[in-house]
Structure 1
Amino acid sequence: MIASKGNTAHFAIEAEHLNLTLGGKQLLDNFSLKIASGEFTALLGPNGAGKSSLLKVLCGEQDAGGKVTVFGRELKDVKPIVLAKHLGVLPQHSSLSFSFTVQEVIELGCLPLQLSNAQTKAIATEKMKLVGVHSLKNQLYTTLSGGEKQRVHFSRVLTQLSQADEQCILMLDEPTSALDIAHQHQTLQVAREIAKSGGAVIVVLHDLNLAAQYADRLVIINEGKIQADGNPWEALTRKIISHVYGWPVNISKHPTDDYPVIIPESSPVKGTLECEINKF
């Protein structure tokens, strides 16, 4: 468990006054954000808005000044071996060129946990079944499709967090990008259950409808700042979407559940497409 000073309340992560500029573009501009335990938060925004960079800052991979605290303790003061037991990150791309089997890759998630071989295999088997890759356990990782590799790494991250208890943070960067529709929903259902169990789940998504269906909270980022922050009905309005993405939409209520469904119109916001073309 990450030792903390004083009362940590219910916030898993608190980021204050972050500033990040990459390639001459300011991605985070005096940016502050609090992430609660027990909440599924989706980070949304157009390409290049800084969503993935924000995840890297929150997990300590990228410096952006300011301050980031994890369960009430400054991130820079938490030993990596301790942090690894409580914070798991699935990046957009995970490269692995060794001919490990799927089970061996997933068991790598147990490295910070100091478990016996029997315990490691039991946890890995449980997570493989949860994600639906148990049938692939003896297959060489290098022979898998892109979507299968993505699901294997998701299982590995879940294995890593198997002893996180109430101090659990799961970060997923575009986890559905290579998945078919069934595995997209399966992945986000697993993530939602982790949030319901008390974990803090932060997911970068491009699909607004998936975000509306699964996330408790949507944070829309653009030009270094938060453009909207609220539940799906609050964050996904026609005005906000057309302003941030430059494309008009219609919004209706899902026929059986209480979340918005976003339907893009056939033409862009006037002047937007011409402006983008003129850049070239």
Structure 2
Amino acid sequence: MIRSFFAARGRTLPEPVAPGGPVAVAEDVRVRLGGRPVLDGAGLTARAGEVLALVGPNGAGKSTLLAAVAADLPAESGEVRICGRPAPEWTAAELALRRAVLPQSATLSFPFPVEDVVRMGRAPWAGTDRADEDEEAVADAMAATEVTGFAGRPFAALSGGERARVALARVLAQRAQLLLLDEPTAALDLRHQELVLRVCRARAAAGDAVVVVLHDLGLAAAYADRVAVLRRGRVAVEGAPGAVLSDGLLSEVYRQPVEVFPHPRTGVPLVVPVRGA
């Protein structure tokens, strides 16, 4: 009955996508910004239970593709589908139940305490039969990102790395099946970079689809199920890290000679720039 009520108000509650099923699909997406083509026929598929890493040089279109998949940036052509429906057919409220987005930078105009910022992630569920999960979702998200210890501090008083973790906690508290994370490790130290990617793996293990933009190829190799390498607004190659991260391809895409070799213990590809003597 409650589902019928919210459907009548234009808010259909989500049904989970089965493991391995497509949660989001982008096909032949083209986007122009300031008259300049940024995406030129890019596409991806985010599957339930997987972490997909988007990598590539600056200006390749990674953040733009993520924004297009989130339906935050309209495509000039092509199609984006979320949970089986074209993204424009979902209302904003319905999208908020299905995908959670972490932008590159997090800013707030008012001095909200950390816990209140994280609790903002629960706003889409207000009035639904999952609103009773709010306290648990907020507590779990804060614990996962190690921000519980400063729950009462104003967001504006935090360091850049602390803000980044609080912003991620807000996204996790939303409990959407599609997580779209734009450079979530950029402001973090080594420990918390690893923490964030372990959180991504945990969410994938729970059945979510995680798409994460990364500059650190080592993190992509260690934690992603699939890696998509972008170049000039298109996906140059996509697949398992061991198959995709080759020295020839990466040297060409990044215009920087690199060597790729397996870690002696784990076998995970290690990418090392070739430097002069």
Instruction: Report the AA paired with residue 238 of structure 2.
Output: D
Q: Does 1:107 align with 2:119?
A: yes
Q: Does 1:27 align with 2:38?
A: yes
- 1:272 alignment counterpart: none
Q: Does 1:205 align with 2:214?
A: yes
Unaligned 5+ runs, structure 2 = 1-12
Instruction: Report the AA paired with residue 57 of structure 2.
Output: P
Instruction: Tell me, in whole angstroms, the C-alpha distance in 2 between the residues paired with 1:117 and 1:73.
Output: 25
Q: CA 1:94–1:247 in 2, change beyond 3 Å: closer, same or farther?
A: same
Instruction: Tell me, in whole angstroms, the C-alpha distance in 1 between the residues paired with 2:74 and 2:139.
Output: 36
Give runs of aligned pairs for residues 107-126 of structure 1, distance below 5 A: 107-114=119-126, 119-126=133-140
- 1:14 alignment counterpart: 25
Q: Does 1:42 align with 2:53?
A: yes
- Of 242, 253, 261, the residue aligned with 1:252 is 261
What's the offset of the Cα at 1:32?
2.7
Unaligned 5+ runs, structure 1 = 268-280
What is the SS of the residue equivalent to 2:97? Answer: coil
Q: CA RMSD in A?
A: 2.1
Q: CA 1:266–1:97 in 2, change beyond 3 Å: closer, same or farther?
A: same
> How many equivalent pairs are there?
260
| Preserved CA contact (<8 Å) 2:260 2:271 | yes
| Preserved CA contact (<8 Å) 1:8 1:71 | no
- Of 130, 144, 147, the residue aligned with 2:158 is 144
Instruction: Tell me, in whole angstroms, the C-alpha distance in 1 between the residues paired with 2:170 and 2:211.
Output: 17
Instruction: Report the AA paired with residue 110 of structure 1.
Output: R
- 1:273 alignment counterpart: none
Q: Does 1:160 align with 2:160?
A: no
Answer with 87-96 or 20-29: which moved more.
20-29
- 2:242 alignment counterpart: 233
TM-score when scaled to structure 1?
A: 0.88
| Preserved CA contact (<8 Å) 2:24 2:80 | yes
Q: CA 1:85–1:264 in 2, change beyond 3 Å: closer, same or farther?
A: same
Equivalent pairs: percent with the same residue? 38
What's the offset of the Cα at 1:255?
2.2
Instruction: Tell me, in whole angstroms, the C-alpha distance in 1 between the residues paired with 2:148 and 2:255.
Output: 42
CA displacement 1:46-91 (0-9 Å, x = unmatched): 0011100001100111111211111111111112212212200100
| Preserved CA contact (<8 Å) 1:88 1:169 | yes
What's the offset of the Cα at 1:16?
1.6
CA displacement 1:94-131 (0-9 Å, x = unmatched): 11131111001111111111269975333212211111
Give runs of aligned pairs for residues 264-279 of structure 1, distance below 5 A: 264-267=273-276
- Of 79, 89, 93, the residue aligned with 2:91 is 79
- Of 166, 185, 195, the residue aligned with 1:176 is 185
Instruction: Report the AA paired with residue 95 of structure 1.
Output: T
Instruction: Tell me, in whole angstroms, the C-alpha distance in 2 between the residues paired with 1:31 and 1:143.
Output: 39
- 1:224 alignment counterpart: 233
- Of 93, 99, 104, the residue aligned with 1:92 is 104
Instruction: Tell me, in whole angstroms, the C-alpha distance in 2 between the residues paired with 1:128 and 1:2.
Output: 24
Instruction: Report the AA paired with residue 241 of structure 1.
Output: L
TM-score when scaled to structure 2?
A: 0.88
Instruction: Tell me, in whole angstroms, the C-alpha distance in 2 between the residues paired with 1:46 and 1:76.
Output: 29
- 1:134 alignment counterpart: 148
- 1:58 alignment counterpart: 69
What's the offset of the Cα at 1:256?
1.7
Instruction: Report the AA paired with residue 85 of structure 2.
Output: R
Instruction: Report the AA paired with residue 178 of structure 1.
Output: A
Answer with 255-264 or 16-25: which moved more.
16-25
Instruction: Tell me, in whole angstroms, the C-alpha distance in 1 between the residues paired with 2:133 and 2:273.
Output: 49
